[in-house]
Amino acid sequence: MLCTMISNWSTTVGRAIRGHSAPVTYGLIALCCLIFVIGPAAGFNPTYGTGDELLVAQRAYFRRWGVVPTELFDGAPRAALTPATALFIHGSWLHLLGNMLFFYVFGAMAEERMGHVEFALFYVGCGYLALLGYAAANAESPQSLVGASGAISAVLGAFLYLFPKARVTSLFPFLFFLPLRFPAWVVLPFWAALQWLAAGRSTSGPGVAYLAHLVGFSLGFVYAWVRFGRTTATPSRGATAGPPAEQPGQLDRE
């Protein structure tokens, strides 16, 4: 797994962006964390019980708020909303923290470039379409799909177009976590290629929804390309992150 760090603001533009806030990014992070803590996956809420009772509550919770491909295309109004609600549901602490760390790093810069309202609509819209794309490709799957990685992948795609020259320090496990610095146009396509390879090997059973990552990443890049054209600024900045965290389990996590 690839861990990344965007480092060393050095330009005037970079300092200008850093001086502003990113309320949508931070608000979405806070909302996802709150929803997780009060839900059954965190294990903090005693109303969901313990042991087998808790596991039953978790499955019911994911099925209610997550995307179930076999139900999505039946025409039920409630199911049509699940690609939006699933963006705010996570299956475990690792799933949540990995996604939110990645979003914290890349989301703030993208939000500053797009503007707060546009970024919020971009995040939800691309996340919805990423989940919808996965569900369409796995229409017979009865597994619940939850997680924000489709939307966060869209942020990565937009970041690649908006800030291709941002210097990214990458930590590669197979190189003993030796930090190596590359521009975003090297690191993010490499990440996308890994998702493509993983998607080709994945099955329809429980696990990581790599296809949702690819759909989201592509949508984000194309949106930024069409929306901003040749007006893109490419400052460097500093922050740390790890890739969207995914784990196999009894539901698909994207």
Q: What is the CATH number of domain 3-245?
A: 1.20.1540.10
| 213 is a catalytic site residue | yes
Of these residues, 95, 144, 153, 213, which one is catalytic? 213
Given a contact cutoff of 8 angstroms between Cβ atoms, the answer to whether 212 and 192 are in contact is no
Give whole-number Cα distances, 208 to 1, 18, 33, 134, in Å: 14, 33, 20, 11
Q: How many residues are present in the chain?
A: 254
Mean pLDDT of 144-148: 92
Of these residues, 141, 144, 149, 170, which one is catalytic? 149
The pairing of strands 145-146 and 252-253 is parallel
Q: In what order do the strands lie in the sheet with 3-6?
A: 178-183, 167-172, 3-6, 239-241
pLDDT above 90 covers a percentage of the chain that reads 45
Token representation of residue 63: 């099925």
Put residue 9 in one of left, alpha, beta given phi > 0 → left and psi -120 to 50 → alpha. Answer: beta
Q: Using the predicted structure, report yes or no on whether residue 195 has a pLDDT greater than 80.
A: no
For residue 46, the 8-state DSSP code is: G
Q: Compute the mean pLDDT over every residue in the chain, rounded to the nearest whole number.
A: 77
Output phi, psi for 205, to 5 deg.
Answer: -80, -175
pLDDT of residue 17: 43
Quick one: CA torsion of 234, 29, 238, 213, rounded to 10 degrees?
A: -60
- List pLDDT tens digits, range 73-116: 877 788 999 999 999 999 999 999 989 988 987 899 899 999 99
Mean pLDDT of 145-169: 86
Q: Using the predicted structure, report yes or no on whether residue 235 has a pLDDT greater than 80.
A: no
Q: How far apart are CA 49 and CA 43, in angstroms?
A: 9
pLDDT of residue 53: 92
- Provide the whole-model pTM: 0.78
